[in-house]
């Protein structure tokens, strides 16, 4: 009798796990991009992460009132505006590195909310062009990361990593100012 009960319990357990896994997958998968079938799955994966972070940064830049762009939690850290300008600067530097060219010349003064958002958009669009034309076959091509010899995959990874790092700063600044950052799918 114990074996009969055990067989039924195992069968019910397997079916339950399968059903729950299917439900969980159905709830999560449709909204998440899936780079597996892409012609360049590794580059596509890096690009999805970068695009997600850049979307969150743009939404943060838009959400913060211009009067708060000079906000800094302490005197020892960058202001909200300075972080956004820094993200744009590094995006141009890293993406031009992957492209094998000097960073594009940009206007020095980026002080107003409108100017900063336009600068970020330009930097992110520039990176879009780099990622869209890149293939997995070139991920191991040599690159230079501020004097350190590496490969282009490292540089492409650092674009998204850098954006994520500073998005975390922006979230804190928004919350300190009573604003809710955009969520997104991760």
- Segment 74-90 shows an average pLDDT of 96
**pLDDT of residue 15 exceeding 60:** no
Q: Which of 22-31, 77-86, 93-102 has the lowest mean pLDDT?
A: 22-31
Q: pTM (2 decimals)?
A: 0.80
pLDDT above 60 for 55: yes
Q: What number is the average pLDDT over the span 16-25?
A: 40
- Do β-strands 148-151 and 142-145 pair in parallel, antiparallel, or remain unpaired? antiparallel
Tokens representing 123? 């930097």
Angstrom distances, CA of residue 152 to CA of 1, 42, 51, 65: 63, 12, 18, 37
Provide the mean pLDDT of the chain. Answer: 84
Average pLDDT for residues 49-56, to the nearest whole number?
A: 94
- For residue 68, is it left (φ>0), alpha (ψ between -120 and 50) or beta? alpha
Q: Select from 50, 32, 10 the least CA-distant residue to 162.
A: 50
CA atoms within 13 A on the CB side of 170: 30
Q: Which CATH number fits domain 36-176: 2.30.30.760, 1.20.120.450, 3.90.1570.10, 3.30.420.40?
A: 1.20.120.450
* Cβ–Cβ under 8 Å, residues 99 and 69: no
Mean pLDDT calculated for residue range 33-40: 82
- Which among 38, 58, 60, 61 is positioned nearest to 50, based on CA atoms? 58
pLDDT bucket at 39, cuts 50 / 70 / 90: confident
Phi, psi at residue 148, to the nearest 5°?
-105, 125
If 0-12 CB within 10 Å is exposed, 13-18 middle and 19+ buried, where does residue 115 land?
middle
Output phi, psi for 145, to 5 deg: -110, 90
Q: What angle do CA 60, 62, 65 make, to 5 degrees?
A: 100
Q: What's the mean pLDDT in 165-177?
A: 96
Provide the CA 90 distance to its chain's centre, in angstroms. Answer: 14
State the average pLDDT over residues 41-62. Answer: 94
CB neighbourhood size of 137 (10 A): 10
DSSP 182: P
pLDDT band at 4 (very low <50, low <70, confident <90, very high): low
Strands (E) in 10-66, as ranges, are none
């Amino acid at each position: 009798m114990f074996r009969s009960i055990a067989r039924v319990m195992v069968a019910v357990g397997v079916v339950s796990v399968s059903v729950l896994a299917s439900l969980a997958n159905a709830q999560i998968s449709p909204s998440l991009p899936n780079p597996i079938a892409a012609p360049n799955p590794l580059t596509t994966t890096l690009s999805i992460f970068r695009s997600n972070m850049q979307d969150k940064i743009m939404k943060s830049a838009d959400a913060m009132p211009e009067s708060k762009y000079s906000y800094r939690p302490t005197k020892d850290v960058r202001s909200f505006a300075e972080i956004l300008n820094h993200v744009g600067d590094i995006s141009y530097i890293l993406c031009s590195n992957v492209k094998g060219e000097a960073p594009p010349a940009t206007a020095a003064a980026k002080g107003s909310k409108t100017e900063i958002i336009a600068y970020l958009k330009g930097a992110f669009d520039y990176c879009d062009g780099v990622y869209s034309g890149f293939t997995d076959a070139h991920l191991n091509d040599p690159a230079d990361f501020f004097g350190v010899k590496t490969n282009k995959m490292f540089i492409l990874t650092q674009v998204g990593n850098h954006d994520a790092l500073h998005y975390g700063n922006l979230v804190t600044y928004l919350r300190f100012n009573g604003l809710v950052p955009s969520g997104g799918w991760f």
